[in-house]
Structure 1
Amino acid sequence: MLALLAAQLTLALLFGPASAQTTGAVKLATFKGPVTPVLAEYIERAIANAEVTGAAALVIELDTPGGSVDITKTLTQRMTSATVPVIVYVAPRGAHAGSAGTFITLAGHIAAMAPGSSIGAASPVGSEGGELPETLKTKETNILVADIKNLAARRGEKAVTWAAKAVSEAAAATADEALALGVIDVVADDVPDLLRQLDGRQVIVAGKEITLQLSDLPIETVPLSGIENFLNTLTNPALAAILLTIGLNAILFELSNPGGYVAGVIGVICLLLAFYALGTLNANWVGLGFVGLAFVLFVLDIKAPTHGVLTIGGIVSFVLGTFILFNTSELDVPWATIIALALATGGFFAFAIGKALAIQRRQPTTGLEGMIGQTAEVRRALEPVGTVLAEGELWAAESESGPIAVGERVVITGHDGFRLRVRKLTREA
């Protein structure tokens, strides 16, 4: 009996971990959006979660236009060194594993796509979305070609050849084309279909061959944390443009109406969030310069004599700057958002200009100019010079309508320096 118990204990110790690995739940992480530090850290956390909980596999549902090369390299290194099977699934229909997404897909132990999805176009671009100088582009391309060949090596020669072209020639493929080339392993309609098709397939994970047993396992989602979700939301190009616009408007409002601090605080917060998003998305700083120029023109138009002209120039500069803020088609700001922001900002400053003009044209209400039209009482007879009481003070005054006796009421018509010009107040007046 003791020998039997010892044998059972030995078997449990030897095979317990492997059994847990093949009978645990399937973890699901959703990667939607540009490759940013936030999403990369989220996927790394999901891998760690799958490893610690003894998950049978981790499915990464991927839909990305691409992103930072450095972040992608770090992420793919973590994926290839994972101790649980990592399945990258480009989904849903219409999803795209573009640029860096191609590397992430090939880094999975299993690569899959949904019908109607696409993969490829992984040519290198500059940090701001534009073309690289020729020499630098050649260097970067060669490095990335070598990297992607390494990732595709276990998928066969056709997959390696296509992967190299995805970098050097921006080649792209549909789900069916990728399957025919061996770039992916499966085309699946959804995650349950994916797990059914992969059931029984053998993969090499951390140097060991594992037989996947997935079809009847529960699927557990690994959600973004609250802070991850918030920071990821900020990486929406349209939201970044909105935050930038609100921030600049609020700061300018605070500078023109100091003392309240509320607008200033809101402006600083919005600008900090906008700069985080712009930095994460590798925004084109020339575009940001055009946006800044637009606000300079708006402010100048309030002070300049050519009211309205500079505002039009500011609107044009704002539209142009917002349009080129992100140079890639996947990360552009929608035209509807650009037009709405331009009209709202232009309208705000047009209103400010109108108020400024109204103030400039308004009859003065303080000082000597503000006394014109008011009445006063004669305190020393005007013959024609004397003294009048106006606004609680005695003023030297000169009559324009002949002598005026003490106690009479007069109306102020103007002034010569600090001497008021007055005329006798009549009933008709």
Structure 2
Amino acid sequence: MIKPTLALIFLVLLLSAMPAHSQQGHVVVVINFHYTVDLGASSLFRSAVNYAIQNRAKTILIIMNSPGGYISDMLNIISYIREANQSGIPVYTYVIPDGLAASAASYIAMATNMIIMGPGSEIGPSTPIVVGGTQLEQNHTESAMLSLMQSEAQEWGRNVTAASVMVLYDKAYSAQQAYNVGLINGLASNLTQAENMLGISGFPQVYFSESYYDQFLSVISNPTVDGLLILLGMVLIALDVLHPTFLMSVLGGIALLMGLVGAELIGASVLGLILLAVSAVLLVMEIKTGHGISLIASVLVGLAGIYLLGEGIQVSPQPSYLEYYIIAVALVAFAVFAAIYIRSLWKYKRKYPFTGKESLIGKTGVVVKELNPCGEIKVEGFIWKACTKGEKVKKGEEVTVIGYKGLSMIVEKKTKG
């Protein structure tokens, strides 16, 4: 009886282990890709692909609706897709109904084994843009992206000519057009139908979306956001010098640090950083002068720095310049407000110095030792030696501080009414 019992135990353990092993090869990793192609999206794909490889997933399904983004991050994502393929894991794309596989996202879709599109969706256009770049740089980038698009189409048996048109002529195809010209593998009205077509329906799914960390990376990998953070940080620190609150310095320091880290991550333009540094110098000048003109100049130079911070960065699609106009209006409005704020602080400081004997000028005191013409007064809780210009003031009467000489206050009797 012992041997059969041991054999039975061994069989139970073997059977209990088998589903866990087989489950690893039947998991579908689903990437919800409803984001701009940027550093956060690249981090998302890296995590999802690593999980798929480690758990020997059956496939990776990208549920796509993306307007495109940065070419460097797109290339990283394509490398992760190829890494999955090399590990024997196919990668599929489903562009949701009315969704986009536009610009940089079109290259990602074309890199996958199969593409299914929903009604109303589009793929392309795919023409790259070099922000602030020369025509030569633009030509080189476009040539490289054309080569990439053609190689992707050829690898998966798609229409190379139709794929090239997306790059050369900024062409976008509707789902039906893309299917008709042989750019995609099929049409599906919903995700369930797409899963059936891909043969992955009914398998366990593990979903991946951008984490808070990925979203943070997306924010600071935007050159416009980085420039704004740098400029905002410098303005807050400068304002705190004039009117110490500690809180503004802390917030300004955090904003400045985040902006600089983001600029480092994206390889920001040196010219943009230089202009932002000039903007900081103008802020220091504003603290010295207090007339507001230097602050306005600082913000305008900072705005130019923000625009140029992304110079040379390759993107697809072309950035919308509407955001720069909105930022310009907001910064000018902020500059006017800050200039008025600083001007009012300087007027207050000149009228009411913060420390020392100067701060007592204009204050009211009470005579504690008769002034004839000198004596003592109490003002702001302290006893001071004081003298009038000849008049006699009795103890208990009020006087106004009009100046000082040495350690003595010069006062006059406060007139009633």
**TM-score scaled by length of structure 2:** 0.70
Q: Distance between the aligned counterparts of 1:365 and 1:103, measured in 2?
A: 65
Per-residue CA shift, 1:146-182, capped at 9, x if unaligned? 333221114447x222333444454443333322232
1:265 aligned residue (250, 259, 272): 250
Q: Say yes or no: does 1:29 pair with 2:34.
A: no
Q: Report the Cα offset of residue 184 of structure 1.
A: 1.6
Q: Is the 8 A contact 2:386 2:411 kept in 1?
A: no
Query: Secondary structure of the residue that 2:109 maps to in structure 1?
Result: helix
> Aligned AA for 2:333?
L
Q: Report the Cα offset of residue 59 of structure 1.
A: 0.8
> Aligned AA for 2:153?
A
Q: Report the Cα offset of residue 57 of structure 1.
A: 2.1
- The residue aligned with 1:116 is 120
Q: Say yes or no: does 1:147 pair with 2:148.
A: yes
Q: Distance between the aligned counterparts of 1:423 and 1:68, measured in 2?
A: 73
Using the aligned pairs only, state the percent identity: 19
Using a 3 Å threshold, how does the CA distance of structure 1 residues 299 and 113 change in structure 2: closer, same or farther? Answer: farther
- The residue aligned with 1:65 is 68
Q: Report the Cα offset of residue 185 of structure 1.
A: 1.4
Query: Secondary structure of the residue that 1:108 maps to in structure 2?
Result: coil
Q: Say yes or no: does 1:81 pair with 2:82.
A: no
Per-residue CA shift, 1:58-83, capped at 9, x if unaligned? 11123141313352553353244241
Deviates more, 1:362-371 or 1:54-63: 362-371
Q: Distance between the aligned counterparts of 1:222 and 1:68, measured in 2?
A: 22
1:356 aligned residue (336, 346, 367): 346
Q: Report the Cα offset of residue 254 of structure 1.
A: 4.1
Q: Distance between the aligned counterparts of 2:270 and 2:177, measured in 1?
A: 38
Per-residue CA shift, 1:23-51, capped at 9, x if unaligned? 82432102233433442242233233334
Higher Cα Rg, which structure? 1
> Aligned AA for 2:107?
F
Q: Report the Cα offset of residue 124 of structure 1.
A: 4.3
- The residue aligned with 1:103 is 107
> Aligned AA for 1:161?
T
* Match runs of 1:195-274 below 5 Å: 195-198=195-198, 213-235=199-221, 240=226, 243-244=229-230, 246-257=232-243, 261-274=246-259
Q: Distance between the aligned counterparts of 1:264 and 1:427, measured in 2?
A: 44
Computed over aligned residues only, the root mean square deviation of the Cα atoms, in angstroms, reads 4.6
Q: Distance between the aligned counterparts of 2:246 and 2:416, measured in 1?
A: 51
Q: Distance between the aligned counterparts of 2:205 and 2:411, measured in 1?
A: 94
Q: Distance between the aligned counterparts of 1:51 and 1:367, measured in 2?
A: 74
Q: Is the 8 A contact 1:284 1:325 kept in 2?
A: yes
> Aligned AA for 2:106?
T
Using a 3 Å threshold, how does the CA distance of structure 1 residues 89 and 285 change in structure 2: closer, same or farther? Answer: farther
> Aligned AA for 2:76?
I
Q: Distance between the aligned counterparts of 2:194 and 2:414, measured in 1?
A: 98
**TM-score scaled by length of structure 1:** 0.69
Deviates more, 1:187-196 or 1:282-291: 282-291
Q: Is the 8 A contact 2:235 2:283 kept in 1?
A: no
Using a 3 Å threshold, how does the CA distance of structure 1 residues 186 and 33 change in structure 2: closer, same or farther? Answer: same
Query: Secondary structure of the residue that 1:329 maps to in structure 2?
Result: coil
* Match runs of 1:24-423 below 5 Å: 24-62=26-64, 63-69=66-72, 70-72=75-77, 74-91=79-96, 93-98=98-103, 100-126=104-130, 129-134=131-136, 136-156=137-157, 159-198=159-198, 213-235=199-221, 240=226, 243-244=229-230, 246-257=232-243, 261-280=246-265, 286=271, 297=282, 300-304=285-289, 307-314=291-298, 316-317=300-301, 322=306, 328-329=318-319, 333=323, 339-340=329-330, 342-344=332-334, 346-362=336-352, 366-367=356-357, 370=360, 387-390=374-377, 392=383, 394=385, 399=390, 418=406
Deviates more, 1:54-63 or 1:75-84: 75-84
> Aligned AA for 1:144?
M
Using a 3 Å threshold, how does the CA distance of structure 1 residues 88 and 276 change in structure 2: closer, same or farther? Answer: farther
Using a 3 Å threshold, how does the CA distance of structure 1 residues 87 and 332 change in structure 2: closer, same or farther? Answer: farther
Deviates more, 1:178-187 or 1:415-424: 415-424
> Which of the pair has the greater relative contact order for Cα pairs under 8 Å at 6+ separation?
2
Q: Report the Cα offset of residue 223 of structure 1.
A: 3.6
Paired residue total = 386
